[in-house]
Structures are given as structure tokens and as C-alpha cells.
Chain A
Amino acid sequence: DAGVIQSPRHEVTEMGQEVTLRCKPISGHNSLFWYRQTMMRGLELLIYFNNNVPIDDSGMPEDRFSAKMPNASFSTLKIQPSEPRDSAVYFCASTIHGQVAIFGQGTRLTVV
């Protein structure tokens, strides 16, 4: 397996634009997590899905953030409208039965 695949690796966008981050989990994994990492706040859990169903989205900063998982092999994290303070590295991770999370390489988002 190629591991958890995230795209794009880097994204630079202007404030106010919509940003969509994508994640393909490891085949057979049934849980998927979205994390955000910044120098100031470290690693923060935004939302996680179990069997494609959102379980806990309490970490999503505000209504500008939304996440979907339409099937077991794909998830998106959308920010609309984006703001400079959203600049961070966004990681996706997947697990099977909640054990041994495997992370993607991350998407480095810069909002100018």
C-alpha cells in the first residue's frame, strides 16, 4: 500500500478563497482523522470519522471548516472562506479499529 495520500502537498491561496484538501486513507482502514499543526498550537485534532461517519468534530475551529467522507477511500477538508490564520500544515491519518494511526505527508497551506 502507498500509505495515506494527501493532496495537494502545498497550497498557497488568497484570503477569502475556498480551499479543499484531500485525503485517501489506507485501504481497509475504517477510521480517518484530520489534524492541524502550527508552531503556536502544536498538533490539534479537527475531526475524525469512523466507517465514513463523523464521530467528533468538536475540534473544527468554526463554521468555515467542513469535512466530508463520501466513501471509505476519500475524504475532504474544506475551508471557505480561508483566512491567514488558517495557515498551517494539515495532516490526515487513518487507522483500523482505532489502533496504530498512519499519517499522510501533510498539506502545507499558506493563506496570504
Chain B
Amino acid sequence: GEDVEQSLFLSVREGDSSVINCTYTDSSSTYLYWYKQEPGAGLQLLTYIFSNMDMKQDQRLTVLLNKKDKHLSLRIADTQTGDSAIYFCAESPNTGNQFYFGTGTSLTVIP
């Protein structure tokens, strides 16, 4: 299968910006996603970006895509304690119905 890699942990102070990074291997990816999982809950779709886009902004969230380096990032502005969760990067390639998830990055927001 495809490789989607993320760092495991990130800690930031409340009010700072968080940047969660992800790298992937499939150059034919059509969609790239960010999901959020709070403790004891399912994966909640946060945002996604088409592979022909470089950037997408949605309120405090900014997604940047560097197709050349196969690098995706999620920036959370003004991080709040409620943002503490595990964030999963995922891609769906052009070939068929399939999703590849990263290991998830556990974000801890320090008050």
C-alpha cells in the first residue's frame, strides 16, 4: 500500500499556531484529507484539498499542499485546548476506492 507518514506528537501553547505535517508517496492522489479524533470518538473530517490546489483556508485551519515534495500540512491558528486530539492525514489515490491513513499526530495544547 501507499505510505503516509506523520510525526507522532506535537505540543503547543494555547494561543500559538500549530503545524502538523504529513508526507505521502502516491503522486496520483486526487484528494488529501485531515481528520480529527478526540478521545473516545470517531474520526471527524476536518477538511480536504484537491490535488490541483496549493492551499485551502477554512476559518482557523489552513491546509498547504506541496505536490512536488508530496508534503501536506495543517496549520491551526490560535490553538485552543479544545484542539487537543489526534490528527490523521489521509490520501485517496486516483486508482479506485481506497484510503491510506497516516499514524496520526497527537496534539497537546498546554494552557
Contact = CB atoms under 8 A, between A and B. Distances in A.
A33 B99 contact: yes
Nearest to B31: A99
A103 B97 CA distance: 15
A111 interface: no
B91 to A, nearest CB: 11
B42 A98 contact: no
B44 A43 contact: no
A45 B101 CA distance: 9
B42 A45 contact: no
B67 to A, nearest CB: 18
A56 B31 contact: no
A101 B42 contact: no
A56 B35 CA distance: 23
B103 A101 contact: no
- In this complex, the interface size class of chain A, counting residues with CB under 8 Å from chain B, is 20 to 34
Interface in B26-46: 30-31, 33, 35, 41-45
Interface residues of B, number: 20
Contacts of A56: 98
Contacts of B111: none
A106 B44 CA distance: 12
Given A43-B88, A43-B104, A101 B41 contact: no
A98 B97 contact: yes
A106 B99 contact: no
B31 A100 contact: yes
B92 interface: yes
A102 B45 contact: yes
Most chain B beta-carbon neighbours within 10 Å: one of A55, A98, A102? A98
Q: Give me the 6 closest cross-chain CB pairs, A-B, nearest first.
A: A98-B97, A103-B43, A105-B42, A103-B42, A31-B97, A106-B42
Given A42-B101, A106-B41, 10 more contacts: A42-B103, A43-B88, A45-B99, A50-B96, A50-B97, A98-B92, A98-B97, A102-B45, A105-B42, A106-B42
